[in-house]
Structure formats: C-alpha cells, structure tokens
Structure 1
Amino acid sequence: MRSATRSFAWCLLLAMACAPAGRAPAVEASWPLSQEALFSQAFAPGFTATPPDGPIALSRIEIGKLGVPSGRIVACDPFVCDRIEAFSRRVPTGKFPLQLAVARLPHDDERVAFARILFADRPAARWEMALRPGQTLEDLKPGYIHGYGVDTGTGAFMDAATQAPYLAATADEAATMRLVDVLNAAPVGTRAWLLRPYGQANVAMFSSGWGDGFYASYFGLDSAGRVVALVTDFGVVEWRAGK
C-alpha cells in the first residue's frame, strides 16, 4: 500500500466489483467441462455452461491489442504490482488481441470470467499453469495454485518492459485516481476494462470476476509446444481437470 489516497482508490474499485448487472441467453453445453474444453469454448460466440445453480452464458469482448515488446508477460493487480515478476515462459513479441469472456449469471449479474491474450489463431492442445521464476508445480499442495492476489477488484496484463514506466506513472496518486474514475464510469459496474499506453507499449486492466481473490493464469500450447494464448481464470466458472 502506498498511501491513504491509494487505499481510497481500492475502496472505489471494490465497490465497483460488487454491483449487479446483466441478463442470460439460451444456448447450452454439458456440465461440468474440462479445463481444455472450457478454455477453448469460453471465447466462442453463443456459449453457455449449465451448472446446477443456473446457466452461465459467456460472451467475448475485444478490448484492443496488447503490446508485447520483450516477450515476457506480467499478470497482476495493476494497483498492487510493484513486486510481481514476469512469467518464466516467453511469448511471441508484437501486438496481440486482448479479449474478455464475460459471464452473464442468474439474478442479473455479469462478471469477467476470463481474460485472454491471443498470440496465434491455432487451437491449444494443452494448458499449463503460468509460473514465475522459482515456482514449480511440484511444490503445490493438492487444490492449490500459483497466481496473483487481487486487492482492488482488478486484474491486468502488461509486458515486463512496460512495468517500470507504468509504476512510475501511477506513483502519482492523481494519475491513479484518474484510472479509477475511468474504471468506475463503466456502464456495467461489475465488468470494466481499460487500455492505456505506458513506455514502449500499454497496460490492459479489467474487472476480476467476483473481485478480490487469488487467481491463476494458464498458457495454451499447440501440438508443437508453441504458445498460442495466455488466459487468467477469475474463478467464475468451475471446471474439472482432465479431458
């Protein structure tokens, strides 16, 4: 935490993350889905999962392109990312579509379920948890994940080369409050997003599912082991391991 003003900004975002909205369409799919099936279908048009407590319709929103000059991605809460390292696995460099899969839930609620960087328009043959330096899957207890903590109801993607200029710009509390104001101005308070330029590229920010929590990201790899996507799962739609 940097200051009392920053704390106030967090409170605004937390309030935004709890507001209701939305409505649900009607195409259905079997339940529960495997991780592979869900991550592939979540961004397809007209997809609805049907858990026992009611349908979850997912729609894709294109929010722009993320600049990736270094090939190293940082995923974090954008207002608490001073000490977050980039993932160990490198990705292609360039500009890539940034997409959100928004869930329309029962009781007029709407949430960002998944955020995705699409590096190639090829299917993912498998998904692996994104790890930072020093992390391994072997050190995880059953049911645990590697990920990042969210304290402001907001997640983000940025290239590692953008992190330092972004942090320098948001050290100014007035600049931070301007970001908060834009996010809070979203027509539907539970799902906001923002792309802003910093340094060599830009930063993508978006509402994080139910708000605060701890969220994992996953690399989608094609049959040759090349990265085709990076997805952050905000825990809105449950999935099972395996095919």
Structure 2
Amino acid sequence: MRNRIMRAARLLLCAASVHAPVSASAAGWDIGKASSNFELAALSDLELSGRSIEVIHMGNVELTSGRIVAADLLAQPDRPAFARTVVPGQYPVTLYRVRGRIAAASMRFAEGKPDHWELAVLPGQDTATLKDGEIFGYPVDAGLGCYMDADTLDLMGEREAQVQAQKPDADVNYYDDVLASDLNANKGAYALHRPVADKKGNVAVFRSGWGDGFYPVFWALDKDGHPLVLLTDFSVIENADGRREPKVQ
C-alpha cells in the first residue's frame, strides 16, 4: 500500500501564516503566531454557532495503541505517529465548518479548558530549532486530513489487499475503490472510515480547509501537562470566528 498510493511529500518545515498571538509559548518560538484558533476547544456549540461556525460531531476514533497519526493518508500513508502518546481508548472527533469548508478538526481526550498549548511534533522534531514564521506540520496533496492510530495503517493495507484479491487484474486505488463511498455519504466532506469491518481501528477522514497545503497540529494541555485536545488548524478562519474572512489565507 505504501508504494502504491504514496506521493512525494517529505516536508518538515513550512512558512506559517502569521496570526494574532494568544497566551501560549515555547522556548525561543512563539506558538501564538502559528494559530489564533485555540479558543475553538473552549467554546460551546452554541457559542461557536454564534460565530458562524458549524460543529460536526463525527463520532469516536479507536486508538488501539495511543500513538496518533495526523496526515493526508493518501499522500503520506507512512507518516510517523506524534511523539506524545495518549492512553488507548475511544475519543470523539469534532469538525468546525465555515462557509462550506472544514476550518479545523479536534480530538478530545478529557474534559476541561486548556491551560496551555504546544505544537505536536514527530520524534526528533524540536520546536527550539524553529525560526520565526516556521512550523512543523503535515503536507496535504489529496485534499484530506485524518486522525488515526498508528496500528490502523496496517488495517488499511489489509483492506487494500482484500480489494486487490477481488480485482486481480485491476490497479487498485484506495480512494476510488475503498474510501470514496464512505466520503460520498457526507457529500465528500468527512467520513469515519473502518478499513476492516470486523477489526478494531478506524480513521476520521476530513477535507482539509482550502485543500492541498501544509497544516499544523497542536496539543491542548491541562495545568499538569495532561492532554485534553488535539487540534488541526486548516487556516480558514482567524480568532476562532467564522463571521469574517481571514486577512491571510
């Protein structure tokens, strides 16, 4: 599967849009310039509606190992999991849609309002190496983002093998032959995809804001450093407010 659907996507750094700062920082690098949308994780559905943000509760992602992958699963299916892990379990994913586009996606691990935020990094990445305007994130080349457990990638490979066995003379494409039908149920915007019907492990797949690009992911932590939320910002809105177009897209 890795060889079949993978495209060239090996970026680690990308210039980030500059937004208004929030009260969060990392040593030598200002996380507040990476996103102004952290308040999404603290507002109620009613408050978000008042800001012209539609909330979509997708359902739970099953994390069998607690090692989380956020990626364009078609363009970079072998992307490593984040360095920070969570307790295995089932966690709800929420999408924030503005003017028909998915502006952000979150996964919640515990209740409560965040005390501080940090950039989600892969093993070996260090925010101390980032310069002003740089950020770690993941590249999108198929217009999709996702949350899944690292173990679920093997299930995707198993599903592809099943489809290939049914079509031995065809060139199987995971999007066309497997994923598209799930996405079409929600007009192509999102899907809670289970690669193998009788096995635990699923994927929250969703359209990525403006489409192809490079997008950061952030951890919301409580005062003791325990993860509350994982948030992907697709740079569709600013200041957690969908009532006006952002200054920089």
**TM-score over 0.5 for the pair:** yes
Native 8 Å contact 2:37 2:238 kept in 1:
no
**In the alignment, is residue 141 of structure 1 matched against residue 131 of structure 2?**
yes
Residues 1:220 and 1:67: Cα distance change in structure 2 (over 3 Å) = same
How many residues of Structure 1 are paired with residues of Structure 2 in the alignment? 202
**In the alignment, is residue 38 of structure 1 matched against residue 39 of structure 2?**
yes
Native 8 Å contact 1:43 1:59 kept in 2:
no
TM-score for both structures, normalised by structure 1: 0.73
Among 95, 102, 105, the alignment partner of 1:100 is 95
Q: Which residue of 1 aligns with 2:191?
A: 193
Q: Measure, in 1, the Cα distance between the counterparts of 2:231 and 2:83.
A: 15
SS at match of 1:57: coil
Q: Which residue of 1 aligns with 2:55?
A: 60
Offset of residue 135 of structure 1: 0.4
The amino acid across from 2:203 in the alignment is V
Structure 1 residues 1-243: aligned runs within 5 Å:
34=22, 35=36, 38-41=39-42, 44-47=45-48, 57-104=52-99, 110-170=100-160, 172=164, 173-177=172-176, 178-184=178-184, 186-187=186-187, 189=188, 191-198=189-196, 199-239=199-239
Native 8 Å contact 2:144 2:205 kept in 1:
yes
Q: Measure, in 2, the Cα distance between the counterparts of 1:125 and 1:36.
A: 15
Residues 1:47 and 1:145: Cα distance change in structure 2 (over 3 Å) = same
Native 8 Å contact 1:120 1:228 kept in 2:
yes
Q: Measure, in 2, the Cα distance between the counterparts of 1:153 and 1:170.
A: 20
Offset of residue 147 of structure 1: 0.8
CA RMSD of aligned residues (A): 2.7
The amino acid across from 1:71 in the alignment is G
CA deviations over 1:8-43 (Å, ceiling 9, x no partner): xxxxxxxxxxxxxxxxxxxxxxx9684375333466
Q: Measure, in 2, the Cα distance between the counterparts of 1:43 and 1:218.
A: 19
The amino acid across from 2:101 in the alignment is R
Offset of residue 201 of structure 1: 1.1
Q: Measure, in 1, the Cα distance between the counterparts of 2:48 and 2:151.
A: 35
Residues 1:150 and 1:42: Cα distance change in structure 2 (over 3 Å) = farther
The amino acid across from 1:196 in the alignment is R
Offset of residue 166 of structure 1: 1.7
Residues 1:40 and 1:185: Cα distance change in structure 2 (over 3 Å) = closer
In the alignment, structure 1 segments of 5+ residues that lack a partner are: 8-30, 50-55, 105-109
TM-score for both structures, normalised by structure 2: 0.71
Structure 1 or 2: larger strand share? 1
